[in-house]
Structure 1
């Protein structure tokens, strides 16, 4: 893709499964804003329902829209911006990351240290991981089941195992179970048969089940399963993004077990920024390695393929990102 000085190149979704690249004037940052020349942007599973074209979706999206996991280098700052300057490499909480540039509030931009030089870093996604981990309140010695080992589940496996929790990873694909082992899971359980999984977890925990269970899929069955393997007085953490309609729950089971149920999603921008800063520190200090979690790279003009891969999960897939490439 050829870059033109002073112009914005952005992808927008124009219909179900359809993307076009548009060229527009480069946006200028306003007061308390910075403009970032993007290196890339992570592809989030939350994009998949809009990508499929549900009745409520309006096309086309805004240029760059749906992309919210961007990182790159500041190339312009607006008035009243302190502590940030052109040339700084940053991650940002922008909303138009499927593009060559994005503009964000200065307070929603986090500098990246030299330890992250050269690494792709969809910071918002890693920030979500850190916020889920905080909300989960996992302690050393806890038995933790993680249902669904995608990007979120794998990263949480690493963080939980690192502090001394015993992790039971439950997932459908063999490659996901292999990744969970690499991330430190003590046990892996194929996600095929509901009752067989419950019995295996029962046996692994001497009948007590799990102090913490994190549901990281976003579908009805994994939620049902997660509720069945929480110990009495334990904690069920819902990290999966449930976007395809209402859910039913077994309230009798939840009541009987006396469990705490935590929705681990955040909407406060300050919480997002805090998680993002913690993620930067976790990667910089070696607590978390992003490399095995970012498996599929696409140029921006192949965004459709990146979204399809996120939906179809080819062998070995964990997370896709698009990268701005100049020619």
Structure 2
């Protein structure tokens, strides 16, 4: 390693050993190869993907694994071929590891790379004291931003990419189905790109209020009134774009009912592997409607998200107010449904601010 550091041989880590079963124990420190950076993790947010993994709904064949991909920390050591970082430097990481040279990697569509891996999803991640990251994917912080803010770079990158894929223009109407953590970030992203009006569907009262605070023009809590409200607010046409941020087939079906002729559905919420919806093909063709998928931020999306957060473009108070210790991760995951008002829970691993 090019950075000389006194490192322990083991670390504390939360291994998901079976659905709904974390074991916090001492494990060997990750190998830091010649092109890698060893990151000392300070904060790691809990994502909906982590919850799906915990409940056994996603990739149970990969267990045991250390989940966690929304992490921030400092450089603990670097491989011999990595020279652009120094020990103690605050960093985040692009978790998407592609081959780097195929058709998809060249186009920043790394999730379609045949060799793609994701830190915290298909290889060990950030619910641990240390995580190894390819040096080319490590991103330095822009100053001394706090770790709880830096741990939001990855989820913000997801909505940055979704906005790019949806190609939302100034003054276009956008409906966002669901105002959970990612839905709230979609609201703020749509505000930044100039969408108007921004209409949110959210039945939970506290999250509906937070969506208004985040910049929504209107929040509809009664599902029976949503369609009429959308058409009233869009001159009877329907929305230019509908973002599904929950992952429920019935909401995807609804999304197609809410778009105008020529509009499109931004598919973001992750449904089950066998979920399908009926699609009126003739109506879709004649109206020139479309659907555009987006699932994760990568590459330049991460750098843009870091800049937006560093310059205060997102209101992050609701995302940084609740944390838990690594030792309490099992209880934290079990009780997440009891705290729907908390948009984000972060696991605090280090003591730094």
Q: What is the TM-score normalised by the length of structure 1? A: 0.89
**1:104 aligned residue:** 133
- Which residue of the other structure, out of 23, 27, 30, is the alignment partner of 1:24? 27
Contact persistence 1:41–1:67 (CA under 8 A): yes
Structure 1 stretch 158-167 or stretch 202-211: which is displaced more?
158-167
- The CA deviation at 1:192 is 3.1
CA–CA distance in 1 between the matches of 2:259 and 2:155? Answer: 26
Aligned to 2:81, the other structure's residue is in SS state coil
In the alignment, structure 2 segments of 5+ residues that lack a partner are 1-6, 96-118
- Which residue of the other structure, out of 160, 173, 187, is the alignment partner of 2:204? 173
- Root-mean-square deviation (Å): 2.2
Superposed, 1:177-326 pairs within 5 Å as 177-193=208-224, 196-252=225-281, 253-266=283-296, 272-310=298-336, 312=337, 314-325=339-350
CA–CA distance in 1 between the matches of 2:208 and 2:234? Answer: 19
Superposed, 1:116-155 pairs within 5 Å as 116-122=145-151, 123-155=153-185
Aligned to 1:132, the other structure's residue is in SS state helix
Aligned to 1:298, the other structure's residue is in SS state strand
Superposed, 1:77-96 pairs within 5 Å as 77-92=78-93, 93=95, 94-95=119-120, 96=125
Aligned to 2:88, the other structure's residue is in SS state coil
CA–CA distance in 1 between the matches of 2:278 and 2:285? Answer: 11
Contact persistence 2:90–2:144 (CA under 8 A): no
Q: 1:49 and 2:80 equivalent?
A: no
- The CA deviation at 1:128 is 1.0
CA–CA distance in 1 between the matches of 2:242 and 2:302? Answer: 23
Contact persistence 1:299–1:325 (CA under 8 A): no
In the alignment, structure 1 segments of 5+ residues that lack a partner are none
CA–CA distance in 1 between the matches of 2:209 and 2:57? Answer: 34
CA–CA distance in 2 between the matches of 1:82 and 1:260? Answer: 45
Q: Which string of whole-angstrom CA distances, capped at 9 and with x for unpartnered residues, describes residues 151-206 of structure 1?
A: 2211121121233322001112111111111111111111533xx31112111222
CA–CA distance in 2 between the matches of 1:306 and 1:112? Answer: 28
Aligned to 2:332, the other structure's residue is in SS state helix
Using a 3 Å threshold, how does the CA distance of structure 1 residues 97 and 83 change in structure 2: closer, same or farther? same
CA–CA distance in 1 between the matches of 2:239 and 2:73? Answer: 40
**1:71 aligned residue:** 72
Structure 1 stretch 300-309 or stretch 147-156: which is displaced more?
300-309
Using a 3 Å threshold, how does the CA distance of structure 1 residues 325 and 281 change in structure 2: closer, same or farther? closer
- The CA deviation at 1:134 is 1.4
Q: Which string of whole-angstrom CA distances, capped at 9 and with x for unpartnered residues, describes residues 194-227 of structure 1?
A: xx31112111222111111111001111111111
CA–CA distance in 1 between the matches of 2:240 and 2:146? Answer: 38
**1:33 aligned residue:** 36
Using a 3 Å threshold, how does the CA distance of structure 1 residues 302 and 184 change in structure 2: closer, same or farther? same
- The CA deviation at 1:230 is 0.6
CA–CA distance in 2 between the matches of 1:263 and 1:163? Answer: 19
